[in-house]
Amino acid sequence: MIIFKNEFKNKSVLVTGGNTGIGAAICLMFAKQGATVFLNYKEHDTNAKATKKRIEDMGGVVHVIKADITQYNEVSEMFKTIKNTIGNLDYLVNNAAVVRSNYITFMSQKEWDEVLDTNLRGAFYCTKFAANMMRKKHSGSIVNITSISAISPDVANSNYAVSKAGLAMLTHSSAKEFGRFGIRVNAIAPGPVNTLMTDLSEDKIDELTKLTPLGRIASGDDIATIVCFFCSNIAEFLTGQVITVDGGISL
Q: Which residue segments constitute the domains of the chain, with CATH numbers given?
A: 12-245 (3.40.50.720)
pLDDT of amino acid 215: 86
Strands (E), the chain: 12-15, 36-41, 61-66, 91-94, 140-145, 183-190, 242-245
> 211-215: long-range contacts (C-beta < 8 A, 24 or more apart)?
211/249, 212/246, 212/247, 212/248, 212/249, 213/247, 213/248, 213/249, 213/251, 214/247, 214/248, 215/247
pLDDT of amino acid 201: 72
pLDDT of amino acid 3: 62
Give the model confidence (pLDDT) of 178-223 as tens digits. Answer: 999 999 999 999 988 876 655 677 877 888 888 888 888 888 999 9
Report how far Cα 243 is from the mean position of its chain's Cα atoms.
Answer: 13
Give the model confidence (pLDDT) of 11-21 as tens digits. Answer: 999 999 999 99
Q: Which residues of the chain are under the pLDDT cut of 50?
A: none
Q: Which residues are catalytic?
A: 160
Query: Is residue 92 within 8 Å of 126, Cβ to Cβ?
Result: yes
